[in-house]
Amino acid sequence: MSMLYLADFSVIKPDFGLIFWTVLIFLVLYFVLARLAFKPIQKALKKRDTEIQDSIDEAKRVQAQMAQLKDDNAKLLAEAREESTRIIAEAEAYAKKRKEEAVNEAKEAAQKVSADAQRDIANMRDSAMADLKKEVGTMALDIAEKVLQKDLKSDVNQTSLVNELVNNLN
């Protein structure tokens, strides 16, 4: 079996020159970045922080508005339901009243028609009775006239006259 040997297990030991130049470059780069980049970066971060905070505040305000609008909407909906219930109740009451009025008007009209018909029947009956009485009276007068014109002394004449008058009536 072959064993691999690592090249060197020693800890890295940098020399003084490498450390000096690394620190010097780091400080120069830090100084340049501090002068040129850190202020704009901090400004951008502050601006972003402000925008985020403004967005959060706006979201809270909108959320509060939405809650208020939701409450207002619920109140309006409840009022609309109450109003529609009231309107429906009024409409039903009005319809019931109109129905009762129509029924009463129909009953009154039927009673009027019935009373008019009874009055017309009574008038026709009275008129017919008057006409009948007039006819009977006229016939009685005609019969009396004919009876008086003939001699009714004998029974045969009386019987023949009655038969003749009855035949004339038919």
pLDDT tops 80 at residue 2: no
- As a whole number, mean pLDDT of residues 83-88 equals 95
Where exactly are the structural domains of the chain?
16-164
44-68: pLDDT as tens digits? 999 999 999 999 999 999 999 999 9
Q: What is the pLDDT of residue 149?
A: 66
- Split at pLDDT 50, 70, 90, the class of 17 is confident
Helix axes 155-169 and 39-149, enclosed angle (nearest 10): 160
Share of the chain above pLDDT 70, in %: 85
96-144: pLDDT as tens digits? 999 999 999 999 999 999 999 999 999 999 998 888 877 877 787 777 7
Q: Which residues contact 146 (CB under 8 A, 6 or more apart)?
A: 161, 165
pLDDT tops 50 at residue 72: yes
**Residue 162: other Cβ atoms inside 10 A:** 13
Measure Cα distances from 26 to 17, 100, 128 in Å: 14, 103, 142
CB 161 within 8 A of CB 146: yes
- Split at pLDDT 50, 70, 90, the class of 152 is low
